[in-house]
Chains A and B, each alone.
Chain A
Amino acid sequence: MSASVEINRPLRDTGEVLQVLKGDKDLKAIALHGIDIKKLEAAAQKATKELGNSIALGTVDKALAIVLHEELAPIRNSASGILNDVVFWQWLALNPFREYSLARWCGDLPPLVEIVEPPSSLSRLTLTSGSVKSHARHSVRRLYIYAECCHLYDGSYQHLGKILDADQDIAGAVFERRLGLSPSLAMALFDVAAQFTLTKKTDSAPGISARSKRREFFKQVNLLGSTVSVEFLSEVEIIKYLTDIASDIP
């Protein structure tokens, strides 16, 4: 059996993620001073177990996001550059959070040894530097981003449920775009977007799903963002804009 290759750079694609998962390649260990990796591992193990017991995804992710954000506080305060490092997040996803990442995003895969072509779901374990979409889709980084957003918003995690219990479509529309870079805008968007409900089909008009309405809403929000500095607006003004837009959606 050939020895695995140790690498210390961003993984190039899902094929390389598969090689790491199969043990053909190893990610070089990262020295994290002041971080209790054991605590992170325990939290990830607990989350994996809960996923196996069919606990609600939002509940599992919420608890894990809080532990992750709290445990990374020393890095956030003294070496924030690490949080911008693709290599750091891929190591977390493929080492302490490996089983969680696989259970959460790749639960329907056959055993690793049987996989030849890497499935697209493995892209949840790769990152592109500076791409908000890629970061918001990463199995571990997304949890940190959600928790950080809540923490910046009001210093607590009380709004995490708003993000993690909502339709996944909303988190995608907010955090996979630059809208999620502003905590107050993100929170306002979740408040307004969560209010859309199904319009039932009638004799004269077809039904409209809540998801379709939200898509139209976010299309209008993105148009708004092209001419209005949402960064400048107060939270009350943001909410007013968003509710005005929502009221125009049939």
Chain B
Amino acid sequence: MTRRGSTPFLQEIFKSVLLVEVSKSLVDDTWEQYDLATSDQTSWEDWKLVADVLKANGFMRARFTVVAEGKTGLEAYVPKSSNPEEVMAFGFIELSTHTRRRTFHKGHLQAASGGKLISARATFDLELDNVLGDLILEPVIVATSELAGPKGHFGVTTGTIIGTTNVIRIREKNPVGPLGDIFDYQWISFATSDHRAEGELFDIDLFADGEKPVLYLNEDVEHFHGIMNTPDNKSGKASRKLLARRTLDSAVAVEVMTQCIATVLQKISSLAADRREEDAEEEEFGSIFYELTVHEQSIVEGWRNFLGVTHAHEDGYSVCAEISALSPSAVSNHLSSSMPRWIRSQVEIENAAARIINNGLQADESEDAG
């Protein structure tokens, strides 16, 4: 039986090592080794690199070499005393939706250990200025002809991916916006402002033109402005006004975070749904992160452990991958229950969100304290 393409159980996932070299020249063949934090050959994590970080250190090119020298699991496909390249090929699938590239870069395969193992090696050179958005390099072994499986009764057709290993993800740049420095703050009158309800305490503009989203606070609410500007005392008993401010800090912070996170979460889910519709083969949606606005990216990065269902995200990319994989009911449950509860508990324990508010509000010391 031969199918077009392969069945998943004929695909092997094999271990490999990534060597990254960088060069400060576009022409010279001088390279220096670059230690990648995630290039641990013992894990299955993707290898990640940010082009702007390298460029900031004066590098202009990067060279990626993936080597697999252990057992690939595909050895049985190769007839005895044959060169593995007669039946399969190793290389990178280069994919970028930003620069619209989808190509194959061939590497090399050879028999090792007297034909018992297959050794694979492929190299990809990259000019860092050419990285726009997100670039994915997926090292794969493909069948170069119709290939019978190890047990003979199943087969795959030419081009079928029969082996994969860790994926290399290269980003153009990291977003900015650390926790605590996410918003610009403005006191305005909601009564004279379009589309804002008079009784509301605040409004968030995630699409503001400036470098940061803007948190508008309603100056019409009696005592709100004064209370929110009450400075912290260094020691001694806190005044009633200070206690009120701390309570309000936390309450507003929770509301602000919940609203922002809900907005961004729904956008991620919606983009993931679009992508599934546009490409049935896509399974990994972390790069949705780059489709978000700069302000949304700041929120995803800064509040990643509130936005995510799990709480150990390294970056916004992994948060987007996690959120995108959730079912609609899981998103709904996260939004309505677990996420706000988690935020409330964290605000109370760490008071971290209150500091976000303070950073903005205390900048305006000249305001009347009440």
Q: Mark A1-34, 1 if CB is under 8 A from B, else 0.
A: 0000001111010000000000000000000000
Q: Are B159 and A132 in contact (CB under 8 A)?
A: no
In whole Å, how far is A249's beta carbon from the nearest beta carbon of chain B? 13
Q: Are A178 and B5 in contact (CB under 8 A)?
A: no
Within 8 A of A (CB), among B152-175: 157-161
In whole Å, how far is A214's beta carbon from the nearest beta carbon of chain B? 15
A209 at the interface (CB under 8 A from B): no
Q: Mark B1-33, 1 if CB is under 8 A from A, else 0.
A: 000111100010000000000000000000000
| Residues of B contacting A197 in the complex (Cβ-Cβ under 8 angstroms) | none
Within 8 A of A (CB), among B79-130: 89, 91, 93-95, 97-104, 130
- A12, A131, A231: the one within 8 Å of B207 (CB): A12
| Residues of A contacting B103 in the complex (Cβ-Cβ under 8 angstroms) | 182, 231
Q: Are A7 and B102 in contact (CB under 8 A)?
A: no
Residue among B11, B89, B104 with the highest chain A CB neighbour number at 10 A: B104
CA distance A166 to B293 in the complex (A): 35
B132 at the interface (CB under 8 A from A): yes
A158 at the interface (CB under 8 A from B): no
Q: Are B279 and A227 in contact (CB under 8 A)?
A: no
CA distance A7 to B209 in the complex (A): 7
Q: Are B207 and A130 in contact (CB under 8 A)?
A: no
When C-beta atoms are compared, the residue in chain B nearest to A244 turns out to be B4
Q: Mark B347-360, 1 if CB is under 8 A from A, else 0.
A: 00000000000000
A113 at the interface (CB under 8 A from B): no
| Residues of A contacting B287 in the complex (Cβ-Cβ under 8 angstroms) | 130
Q: How many residues of A contact B (CB 8 A)?
A: 40
Contacts A176-B278, A229-B140 given; does A130 touch B93 at CB 8 Å: no
A177 at the interface (CB under 8 A from B): yes
| Residues of A contacting B4 in the complex (Cβ-Cβ under 8 angstroms) | 224, 228, 241, 244-245
Within 8 A of B (CB), among A175-234: 176-178, 180-182, 185, 219, 222-233
When C-beta atoms are compared, the residue in chain A nearest to B278 turns out to be A133
When C-beta atoms are compared, the residue in chain A nearest to B11 turns out to be A227
A156 at the interface (CB under 8 A from B): no
Q: Are A232 and B97 in contact (CB under 8 A)?
A: no
When C-beta atoms are compared, the residue in chain B nearest to A8 turns out to be B209
Q: Are B98 and A84 in contact (CB under 8 A)?
A: yes
Q: Are A129 and B291 in contact (CB under 8 A)?
A: yes
When C-beta atoms are compared, the residue in chain A nearest to B144 turns out to be A232
B265 at the interface (CB under 8 A from A): no
| Residues of B contacting A81 in the complex (Cβ-Cβ under 8 angstroms) | 132
When C-beta atoms are compared, the residue in chain B nearest to A152 turns out to be B100
When C-beta atoms are compared, the residue in chain B nearest to A16 turns out to be B207
Within 8 A of A (CB), among B14-55: none
B290 at the interface (CB under 8 A from A): yes
CA distance A228 to B2 in the complex (A): 14
- A80, A177, A229: the one within 8 Å of B99 (CB): A80
Q: Are B279 and A178 in contact (CB under 8 A)?
A: yes
B264 at the interface (CB under 8 A from A): no
In whole Å, how far is A16's beta carbon from the nearest beta carbon of chain B? 8
| Residues of B contacting A178 in the complex (Cβ-Cβ under 8 angstroms) | 95, 97, 102, 279, 281-282
A237 at the interface (CB under 8 A from B): yes
B133 at the interface (CB under 8 A from A): yes
B365 at the interface (CB under 8 A from A): no
The 9 closest A-B pairs by CB, nearest first: A227-B5, A181-B102, A231-B104, A226-B281, A133-B278, A84-B132, A222-B280, A232-B104, A182-B102
Query: Chain A: residues with CB nearer than 8 A to chain B?
Result: 7-10, 12, 80-81, 84, 128-133, 145, 148, 176-178, 180-182, 185, 219, 222-233, 237, 241, 244-245
Can you list 7 A-B pairs, Cβ within 8 angstroms, ordered by A?
Answer: A9-B209, A130-B287, A178-B97, A223-B5, A227-B5, A227-B7, A229-B140
